[in-house]
Amino acid sequence: MGSFKTSVFIFVLYLLERALSNSLIQLNNNGYEGIVIAIDPNVPEDETLIQQIKDMVTQASPYLFEATENRFYFKNVAILIPENWKAKPEYVRPKLETYKNADVLVAESNPPGNDEPYTEQIGNCGEKGERIYFTPDFLAGKKLLEYGPQGRAFVHEWAHLRWGLFNEYNNDQKFYLSNGKNKAVMCSGAFTGKSVTKKCQGGSCITKACRPDRVTGQYEKECQFVLDKVQTEKASIMFAQSVDSVVKFCTEQNHNKEAPNMQNQRCNLRSTWEVIRDSEDFKTTTPMNTQPPKPTFSLLQIGQRIVCLVLDKSGSMATGGRLNRLNQAGKLFLLQTVEQGSWVGMVAFDSAGYVRSELLQIHSSTDRNVLIKSLPTAASGGTSICSGLQSASKVIKKKYPTDGSEIVLLTDGEDNTISGCFNEVKQSGAIIHTVALGPSAAAELEELSKMTGGLQTYASDQAQNNGLIDAFGALSSGNGALSQRSIQLESRGLTLQNSEWMNGTVIVDSTIGNDTLFLITWTTQPPQILLWDPSGKKQDGFLVDAQSKTAYLQIPGTAKVGIWNYSLQASSQTLTLTVTSRPSSATVPPITVTSKMNKDTGKFPSPMRVYANIRQGGTPILGASVTALIESTNGKTVTLELLDNGAGADATKNDGVYSRYFTAYDTNGRYSLKVWALGGMNAARKGVIPQQNGAMHMAGWIENGEVKWNPTRPENNKNDLPGKQVCFSRTSSGGSFVASSVPVAPIPDLFPPCQITDLKAKIQGGNLINLTWTAPGDDYDHGRAQKYIIRVSTSILDLRDKFDNSVQVNTTDLIPKDANSEEDFVFKPENITFENGTDLFIAIQAVDKVNLKSEISNIAQVSLFIPPETPPETLPPSVPCPDISINSTIPGIHILKIMWKWIGELQLSVGLN
């Protein structure tokens, strides 16, 4: 009985972990298993790259083991090899491993020359990151001087990815004032080196010592702290892993709490080791007594996509037009979403499973239409999900092993026997994507997608929200080349009365346009359809299917770039419009939008976080208008504007990740997420590389007392691509999540203002302090807070740990602004000694109308620097001019006599000649 309880507990922990991340990583007896390192399909074939990946992980494992006090190591790693690389006997087909759930991506540098290793990290301190990025040149060892050995850099990135640590350096602010003196931002403070700046002109450079500004006392922005090549300090890996002596993380004993870096700002001044110690990994392990074995590797090569649709045709599917909506969504998937060359089969189920189509490879529109005709058109019977899954497994096994195959499971019904096939599903190696339709779909449905790494989605019965089509549109391949992936440009719906019009525009940008499809659905009778291309030419030729109530138009060739206008007219029915396209080039990456919630389950009153990541390749897109629509099983839709402002739910400003808190729970059960993104006048590609959560670029090293500079970090390169305006439209399905513990209406106000994370302070006009921050809301980042509490202290730890006892600032005249507004406040410190060289620490707490308080903000610091007085200029005492006449007797004047005589003779001689 005890072992059964243990296995159930481990399985539940696994599901909870999967809910937070798509990663397949598991910690087993101190060893990390299931790590997936994927080589991007655009990387030229090079077998040495595989060995370089192995070498990096093999070097990293003992380094990680020592750094974590004999607690963790790398046990096994799967390397995903692109389909377009030459096949080899040792390359096997993946199971659950895909590009979408890869933990590390090896891709070409973007922009060119930027080989900085980094980790995409959108969550809070202690939360797992998204993915690590390396370039082939980095893995080849071409950046050793700048970033150190690859294995050490991998451990630095692993700490970002696995434990949610942040950098202990700061590229944007390399020094700070402490006790009126400049200190380098580093951890620990025991590193040795020099504060220098490099001045270049006309192709030559000189190194100078940094000089403080006479007014502010601060070093100039170009000043850098260059480390001595030989060090004895062992910490910290999150500061300078490339230093030979560094083998530890900073602890609370040697952590520099004053340094203005992301680790202090995001982790409440806690050291990196404290954060690791609080992780589930640490709590569930004990140190090993023996050295760990070397990592093992499996080589997996991506193959053709194999997918089987498993579609519910039980009696409940006849209600509310569900079966017809299933046909409409299935039509989009088969016409557009599934890629050329894929193998597709189809199973329908009620109380038993029925094969509708064996696996068919898609080569043409004819193959697609054969499958469309196999969609179920009649509903009856009970619901046996396991029967459907077992039938799908048989269909796949007739041609291929089930390893790495995909099953798309749609159901609207309850089935209390679903857990009976969990073990079979896990052993099959198939990935299951689940689509829950309506409020009564089986509660255990999501466990199938969680245990297999599939996508979970939910669609309500509100046809105008287009949820079912969005769910099927999101099922593009996790492994196919990006150039073949279907990208959704538009998804709209509206219920029209009395011959009303549904009007709108769709932007086709230059990065997409191939295989563009306009799909229109209705609920009673065909609407009037008008569509014009950017030149104003009316587009005809829509193919109408009266049975499934759909009409579609595929634009031949590449669709014209620009604004496409549409107008749809109908009465007393609901219309939807969906527009999809594929990239216009195999070499130019398209603009993509991916969206998600921070987890798959939400428990009231804990808030959820919404994320939308907008990029073109590795380049973030800034200034877009991004809107999230979150729909509950009640049919209520909440609209949120997502922001990339580095405040509230948003971890980093201007990184192309747009975020917002969700607190508007209205019921228990499933919620769906859809994101609209629009790029217009304010949207632009980010030309300058933002500070990444990655290994520190070493500006240079000091060897034998001489500064030897390394190549400049790419963000300082004048050849960087400048910000370029982009216009685009995209929609993205972000899957679904399940809410629990939501009380019946009226919902109580249990949401405090969110934590202020971007508080900054500077000295103004002598002894005044100017504070700036982004305003929180009444409920996290929504609404308006009631008041602010600002406190100051000369002890950073007292302010953090004894905030309520610290000196309070008079904020009578400080009225909070609406959430996400910029706040600015100036005050003069009172009741505290503030003199030259004093370090003062400031923090803020926001309070809402029911007196709920936010967490204490990040702590800002100022150091009072009073410039030394310049003594008045004084002239030397007046001395009479000496007599320099010919007869002068002043000592030495005879020299002047001789000089004047010689000059006179010379002039005479020149004149004679």
> Which of the residues are catalytic?
157
Q: How many CB atoms lie within 10 A of CB 502?
A: 21
Q: What share of the chain is helix, strand, coil (3-state, %, to 5)?
A: 20, 35, 45
Q: 533 Cβ partners below 8 Å, 6+ apart?
A: 539, 559, 560, 562, 564
Q: Which residues pair with 642 in a beta bridge?
A: 626
Residue type at 311?
L
Tokens representing 571 are 């009465």
Q: What is the dihedral of CA 109, 114, 117, 119, to 10 degrees?
A: -80
Q: Where are the alpha helices (DSSP H) in 374-421?
A: 385-397
> What DSSP string describes 359-380?
EEE--SHHHHHHHHTTS-----
CA–CA gap between residue 622 and residue 689 (Å, rounded):
12
Q: Which residues pair with 847 in a beta bridge?
A: 787, 853
Q: Which residues pair with 602 in a beta bridge?
A: 739
Pairing of strands 193-201, 181-184: unpaired
Helices and strands per DSSP (H, E), number in the chain? 17, 48
* Alpha-carbon distances of 821 from 43, 123, 469, 644, 777, rounded to whole Å: 43, 22, 36, 13, 10
CA–CA gap between residue 345 and residue 311 (Å, rounded):
11
Residue type at 441?
A
Residue type at 289?
N
CA–CA gap between residue 387 and residue 376 (Å, rounded):
16
Pair 665, 600: CB distance under 8 Å:
no
Q: 184 Cβ partners below 8 Å, 6+ apart?
A: 174, 175, 191, 193, 195, 225
Among the listed residues 785, 736, 838, the one whose alpha carbon sits nearest the alpha carbon of residue 441: 736
Vertex 524, ends 522 and 527: CA angle to 5°?
A: 55
The burial class, CB within 10 Å (0-12 / 13-18 / 19+), for 426 is middle
Tokens representing 161 are 């990815």
Among the listed residues 98, 90, 105, 116, the one whose alpha carbon sits nearest the alpha carbon of residue 43: 105
* Alpha-carbon distances of 109 from 42, 136, 150, rounded to whole Å: 11, 8, 16
Q: Which residues pair with 567 in a beta bridge?
A: 503, 530
Q: How many CB atoms lie within 10 A of CB 180?
A: 16
Helices 47-67 and 150-163, packing angle to 10 deg: 70
526 backbone dihedrals φ, ψ, rounded to 5°: -60, 135
Residue type at 234?
K
Pair 581, 588: CB distance under 8 Å:
no
CA–CA gap between residue 187 and residue 205 (Å, rounded):
30
CA–CA gap between residue 585 and residue 615 (Å, rounded):
16
Q: Which residues pair with 224 in a beta bridge?
A: 196
3-class secondary structure, 748: coil
CA–CA gap between residue 197 and residue 130 (Å, rounded):
35
Rounded to whole angstroms, the maximal C-alpha distance in the chain is 134
* Alpha-carbon distances of 808 from 6, 538, 795, 803, rounded to whole Å: 51, 67, 14, 9
DSSP code, position 219:
B
